[in-house]
């Protein structure tokens, strides 16, 4: 996985360097970035996600050094403390753990599942989709069979079956969603690769004797960047929701490891004791998911040449 990740990023960075064939793409990207910068809604969403990411990365530091609380330390005597009393800024949960601390730690886990799950499934989808679209023939047929097979089993059924197999941890959940979540991306990328392969400049490059790797990574991949980024944003949003849904069915990441999903699931039982236990997790989930949706839409619009003015 690590190897794959390195390769992916390096190539994308490289593609940003100006080359003669990239001039057109470059100016499209510039235009897109300009459009994006003017799109206040998208920028706002992006800002929120960046801040949230930083905060959740720093969560252990914040809770240990600044707040000085252990998110998993129960203090039964303080259960259901409403916010903001006794130093519990967002109140305490059903066994008296600090909700703010737990939410911070949960952010890391939920966002991590979303980000890494989306990243890995996207990487798989991107690679296999490009392979299918560019190579065609038997490779395409086999991959197409695999994609259709996995797609034909309703996703949630597959998730439930697989999550009964693995123990419930954030890592195994990432593994599971990566293994079954790549098919949509693969379909999309295959189609795109297929159409780009037929474009004049690719044919020209082929005629000039460029090897397939060069064509794939220098000519085709850069053109897939925008669509991939959009897909990444939407996948993260989808996975955050999936994580919480699985928690409701009792098949998600298990406590004491806090996630937004299992915090929300637990909270409904106690809504008469502490509505704050519902409000904050649900806000975290929906605002974050909403922001990813907005970002996805914004980028899509920005990169759509027909929409650029």
CB < 8 Å & 24+ apart, contacts of 61-69: 62/104, 63/98, 63/101, 63/104, 63/105, 67/98, 67/100, 67/101, 69/98, 69/101
User: Counting contacts by CB under 8 A, is residue 145 touching other proteins?
Assistant: yes
* Residue among 99, 92, 100 at smallest CA distance from 76: 92
Distance (Å) of CA 243 to CA 170, 226, 227: 9, 26, 24
User: Counting contacts by CB under 8 A, is residue 256 touching other proteins?
Assistant: yes
User: Counting contacts by CB under 8 A, is residue 31 touching other proteins?
Assistant: no
User: Counting contacts by CB under 8 A, is residue 307 touching other proteins?
Assistant: yes
User: Counting contacts by CB under 8 A, is residue 271 touching other proteins?
Assistant: yes
User: Counting contacts by CB under 8 A, is residue 188 touching other proteins?
Assistant: no
192 phi and psi angles, rounded to 5 deg: -65, -45
Q: List 204's β-bridge partners, or say none.
A: none
Q: Cβ closer to other proteins: 60 or 245? A: 245
Sites for other proteins among residues 150-169 (CB under 8 A): 150-158, 160-165, 167-168
Q: List 98's β-bridge partners, or say none.
A: 92
User: Counting contacts by CB under 8 A, is residue 52 touching other proteins?
Assistant: no
Sites for other proteins among residues 84-103 (CB under 8 A): 94-96
Contact 123, 181 (CB under 8 A): no
Question: Which residues in this chain contact other proteins in the complex, by CB under 8 A?
Answer: 41, 72-74, 76-77, 79, 94-96, 145-146, 148-158, 160-165, 167-168, 237, 241, 244-245, 248-251, 254-256, 261, 264-266, 268-273, 278, 282, 285-287, 289-290, 293-294, 297, 300, 304, 306-307
């Amino acid at each position: 996985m690590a190897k794959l990740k390195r390769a992916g990023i390096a190539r994308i960075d490289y593609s940003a360097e100006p080359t003669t064939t990239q001039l057109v793409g470059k100016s499209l990207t510039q235009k897109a970035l300009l459009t994006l910068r003017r799109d206040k809604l998208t920028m706002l969403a992006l800002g929120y996600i960046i801040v949230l990411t930083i905060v959740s990365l720093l969560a252990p530091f914040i809770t240990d050094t600044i707040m000085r609380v252990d998110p998993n330390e129960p203090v039964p005597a303080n259960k259901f403390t409403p916010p903001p009393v006794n130093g519990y800024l967002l109140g305490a949960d059903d066994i008296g753990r600090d909700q703010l601390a737990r939410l911070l730690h949960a952010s890391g886990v939920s966002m991590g599942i979303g980000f890494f799950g989306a990243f890995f499934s996207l990487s798989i989808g991107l690679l296999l989709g490009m392979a299918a679209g560019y190579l065609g023939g038997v490779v395409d047929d086999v991959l197409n069979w695999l994609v259709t097979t996995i797609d034909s089993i309703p996703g949630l059924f597959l998730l439930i079956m697989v999550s009964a197999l693995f123990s419930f941890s954030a890592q195994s959940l990432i593994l599971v969603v990566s293994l079954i979540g790549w098919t949509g991306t693969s379909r999309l990328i295959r189609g795109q690769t297929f159409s780009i392969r037929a474009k004049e400049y690719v044919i020209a490059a082929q005629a000039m004797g460029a090897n397939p790797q060069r064509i794939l990574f220098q000519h085709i991949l850069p053109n897939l960047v925008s669509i991939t980024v959009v897909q990444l944003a939407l996948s993260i949003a989808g996975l955050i929701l999936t994580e919480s849904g699985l928690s409701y069915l009792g098949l998600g990441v298990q406590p004491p490891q806090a996630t937004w999903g299992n915090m929300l699931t637990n909270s409904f039982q106690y809504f008469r004791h502490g509505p704050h236990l519902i409000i904050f997790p649900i806000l975290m989930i929906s605002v974050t998911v909403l922001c990813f949706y907005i970002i996805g839409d914004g980028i899509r619009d920005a990169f759509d040449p027909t929409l650029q003015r």
